[in-house]
Chains A and B, each alone.
Chain A
Amino acid sequence: MNDNLAKMREAAKRALESGDVGYVIGWGATKFPDKTSPLFMRKPEDAERLVWNEYAIPGIAKYLLDDLYPDKPIGVFVRGCDSRAINRMMKDNRIKRENLRLLGIPCDGKDDERCTICRNRNPLVYDELLWDEAPTPEPKDRYFRANAVEAMSADGRYAYWSEVFDQCIRCYACRNICPACNCKECYVDMTATGFQGKQHSRSDNLIFGVTRAFHVGDRCIECGECERVCPMGLPIMGQTQKILKDINELVGDYESGVDAESENYLGVFDLDDKDEFM
């Protein structure tokens, strides 16, 4: 670990010293020993504040959306999940590759439930790789939440999601962190379209839940950040996992964000798509 951290600090420092990048995004310490927060390193000496430990959990790629037109490329440390987030945002034309300086850091997995379903610890896109890749261990059940809910009765499922979304405070933290939720302006903030009621009611909360899932659905990169940031601790990956599960069942192996070229499931069609309608 220390070895790797040294490599990261070195890389960040080198990048900042060369002046090729405006700043580098990584992880920094917080006042809580078991939490890290995103760190924006602007000067070479900032690299010393860089942290890389089992608590370097937060996804940091989404911050790129806050600086869409940088004067200089932005340096980012990318694990597998961060790289998929970057692919996602590139595919959606939100960020440009030439604005990025990607420092690849194969991840060793963190102590977090989300990491148990990780399918790519190694970054899928990067400019340089700071240390050797290691194989990703066999992931746990990819649809663990969805499978559990599917096993319930229809009434049980409704009761389950009602209970979940009755607790939702509509803070939209899940949206803010999600690399697939990268619209310039989110539909929930636009009253004009009328797609989403603003009330804090079961109905509108449920509709928000389903809509968020459907908007993300085929573009979800399965990083689980939505659940991490939810202040109410709601198991909302259950919604997106269901969509991914169905897509995988319908057309076979499908994964979003593994590159920046593959089409989204809902953006294309096949003449022989399964027809469940008569």
Chain B
Amino acid sequence: MRKYSYFPGCSMESTAKPYRLATEYVMGKLGIGLVEIEDWNCCGATSGHTLSEALGLALPARSLALAEKRNPELDILTGCASCYARLRLAMYKARTDERAKYIIEKTIDMPYAAAREVYNFLDVFSLPDVREGIAERVVRKLTGLKAACYYGCLNVRPAEVTGAPDRENPTSMDEIVALTGAEPVDWAFKAECCGAAHQNDAASASRALPHRILRDAQSNGAEAIVTACPMCNLNLEMRQDGYVNRTGMDRIPVFSLSELLAVAMGASAKRIALEAHYVPSAAVLARALRRKDA
């Protein structure tokens, strides 16, 4: 059985309720064990590294060091792109940059060997055996659901830190989504920045970012956007009023990959609190579930 040290991230604990529930459901179905890192703390995104290099590295490194101390045999898993980026950067820096490693260990006052890898959900779902497991456990096909897979910037960039093979047109999520019978659409904003980082302190300036992503998804025929990050998810759905006013387009449901998989694996909408989304997705999902294979 696969098992990971799990870093939920702050959003999972609050706004990303459906994401959390769906993740628990899916991981349970797949038999993937998540051992929550005891006493984990905020990864610092994004003010941490805006404030200081040391804080930017030490905040994520503390949780990683705790995880490695408690479960030295487990790799670390997180479902949030921001957390992933910060955790993975701390791991990468500790491995490649002696100065950074020194700063990290001095600041967290613990040894941090960076011996274990940091993964995101896409990495794990793409493992051959997990993929096979997903395919086996899909009990309800989301036939023909036109889904735009949105990876976000930090799941794929910077290349040297994430090791993602294709940063312009990633395909790992599309392949997973296709397992549910849904149809991933070909679109151009899979890894463009949604600007979640500045939705507080540069609100008006960064509104355009989610809007153009929504627009490209819809103009390529997407009925829904599938995300791999609670921050992206919130940002993409919370800003839709402005989007509708500005472009005259319809709203589009946005939900996480975990939720999509949970639905396909048989979870009820209630079970994963789908109603907690700003943009209702029930109709779109129901339509897909009714559709017969062409």
Check whether chain A touches chain B (CB < 8 angstroms).
no
